[in-house]
Amino acid sequence: MCNAPRAVQDMAVVAMAARVDTSLITYGPNVYPVPRLCDIQPHERRVDVVNIGCFGAIRPLKNHMTQALAAIAFARTIGATLRFHVNATRVEGGGNPILKNLRELFGRLDCADLVEHGWMPHADFLSVLRGIDILMQASLTETFNIVAADAMASSVPVLASDEIPWLGHYAERDPLSAADMASGLLTIWQEDFAASVARLHWQRRDMERYCAVSALTWVRRFA
C-alpha cells in the first residue's frame, strides 16, 4: 500500500506494459490502528543518557548521517551520553558506505554509541521503542512511514521531515540541516509534562485524521 502519486504513475506504466486498461489500476492508502487516547503517555527518561531512534533500512534517502550529526550535537548540548539506534542488517540502494561511516563516526566518540539492531518482528520492534526517547525520521523522501506510526502508537515523540504526509508542522525540521534538527530535538527534550502530552496527542490526532480519509478512500474505491 502506498499514498504517493508517484506510485500511481508507476502502476500505470506497469499496466501499459502488460497491456491492461490503466483505468483498472488503483492504489490503497495506508490505514494504521489508532491507539486509545488513554494509552498515550510520555515515557520516563534519564537525564544522563538519551536514546534516539533512527530506524528503517539504511539507504541514502533515509538521511542517517545528517540525523546522526544532529543527535550528537543535541546530546552534547544537554550533557548526556547518546545512544543512536539503527537497523543495521537491512542495507539497500548503496547504503553500505553509510553504515560504514556511521560506525566510523561513533567509533571515534567517547560520549556517543551506535546501537545496531537487526530487522525484527513487529512485536519486538515495539518493545525496542519503549526504550526510545525521541524518534528521528527526517528522510529526504517518504510515503507513509510505518516507523513513525509505530512511534506514535508507542508514545514516542517524532522529529521528521515534511515528506511524511500525516504528521503536522510541529514535528517537521529541515532534513538538510543538522543544526535545525538538533534544535528540534532540544525543543522536544525541554518540554514539560503537559507539553509532552500535548505533542503525543497531536501525533495521535493527525494519525486519526489521516486514517479517516484513508478509510473513506478504500470504501469509495473498493466497496
| Domains of the chain, CATH where assigned | 1-31 (no CATH), 39-192 (3.40.50.2000)
> Phi and psi dihedrals of 28, rounded to 5?
-115, 120
Collapse the DSSP code of 111 into the 3-class scheme (helix H, G, I; strand E, B; otherwise coil) and give the result. Answer: coil
DSSP 91: B
How far apart are alpha carbons 175 and 154 in whole angstroms? 23
DSSP 162: T
What the block records as the C-alpha cell of 67 is 540525523
Helix, strand, coil share of the chain (percent; to 5): 50, 15, 40
Q: What is the CA radius of gyration of the chain?
A: 19
pLDDT at residue 27 greater than cutoff 90: no
Collapse the DSSP code of 221 into the 3-class scheme (helix H, G, I; strand E, B; otherwise coil) and give the result. Answer: helix
What the block records as the C-alpha cell of 205 is 490526532
Q: Kindly state the average pLDDT of the residues 112-133.
A: 97
Q: What is the pTM of this model?
A: 0.89
High-pLDDT (> 90) share of the chain, %: 83
> Phi and psi dihedrals of 41, rounded to 5?
-145, 140
Q: Which residues contact 161 (CB under 8 A, 6 or more apart)?
A: 63, 137, 138, 139, 140, 142, 172, 173, 174, 175
Give per-residue pLDDT as tens, 155-210: 999 999 999 999 999 999 999 999 999 999 999 999 999 999 999 999 999 999 99
